[in-house]
Amino acid sequence: MTSNLSEAPAAVKLGAAGAQVIRIASATAPTLGLNVLTVLHALADKGITRLMVEGGGRVASSFVAADLVDEVWLLRGREAVGADGVAALDALPLSVLTESPGFKLRASEDLDKDTLTIYERA
C-alpha cells in the first residue's frame, strides 16, 4: 500500500521484484498518511479479508484507534529503551490494550530476556 503521492520509480522497482503495489489517496490533515478504512477496502477489493499488521507505532495506533484489532502480540524487553525509543502505539499509551476492558489476556511467555504477551478482543 502506498499513497498516490509516492515516488513512481520506487513502485516500479517493487513491482519488478514481484510485489503488487496498490496506490490509494492519502489522508488529509490532521491525520496524514493512509486512511486505514481506505486501505482495508482496497485489500477487500483484491479478495483479502484477513490481515496481519506488523507496522510501526503510527500504523499500529491507527488500527487500534479505529477499533480494528482482534488480537495483539506484544513483545517487550525487560529494560526501557530510553528517551530516544519509539513508542509502540505512537501517541496512544499501551494501556489502551493492556488495561482495556475490550481486550483480555490470552497468554504470556518469557522468551529469554523478553516477554511475549497475547491479548484478544473480549
| Cα 104 to Cα 120: distance, rounded to the nearest angstrom | 6
Pair 119, 106: CB distance under 8 Å: yes
Lowest-pLDDT choice from 3-7, 38-42, 92-96: 3-7
pLDDT above 60 (res 107): yes
Query: What pTM was computed for the model?
Result: 0.81
Pair 77, 119: CB distance under 8 Å: no
pLDDT above 70 (res 28): no
State the cell numbers at 13: 522497482
pLDDT of residue 114: 94
Dihedral sign from CA coordinates of 45, 47, 52, 54: negative
| Cα 61 to Cα 96: distance, rounded to the nearest angstrom | 10
Confidence of residue 122 (pLDDT cuts 50, 70, 90): very high
